[in-house]
Amino acid sequence: MESKNSFKGASFLLAAGAVIGAWVTSKWFERRNVNGDVIVQNVRKLFQVVGTIEGSWIEMEPVFVDSPEFYGEVYYGGVTRKEDNELVQYEFYADAKTGAVIDLYKIG
């Protein structure tokens, strides 16, 4: 009888450990940001659909934004391309958690 109780106790501890481990793992992945290189490559792909890219950049450390449009960490970057034989610059903000472009605008 004692071995049944110890088996139940061990099973309970194993199940509890698995649940806690899964929860901790999910919380760890929630906090991870998308790599800035991945974001700038995705933005470059969007621009390459309509023309060639002369250059691109991204700040590798996200910054916190608290505005009516967005609340959270964002990456800030830019893309330069030729339009009518002139270099034109665009800048963007992307959500650090999802990589989604929040804002994209032309400079000048």
Which residue type does 51 have?
G
Of the CA atoms within 13 Å of residue 69, those in its CB half-sphere come to 7
Contact indicator for 99, 58 with CB cutoff of 8 Å:
no
Q: What is the pLDDT of residue 24?
A: 56
Helix segments in 1-108, DSSP class H: 2-31, 36-48
Q: What is the pLDDT of residue 50?
A: 83
Q: What is the pLDDT of residue 27?
A: 54
Q: What is the pLDDT of residue 17?
A: 58
Q: What is the pLDDT of residue 11?
A: 59
Q: What is the pLDDT of residue 96?
A: 94
How many residues can be counted in the chain?
108
Query: Three-state DSSP class for 88?
Result: strand
Low-confidence ranges of the chain (pLDDT < 50): none
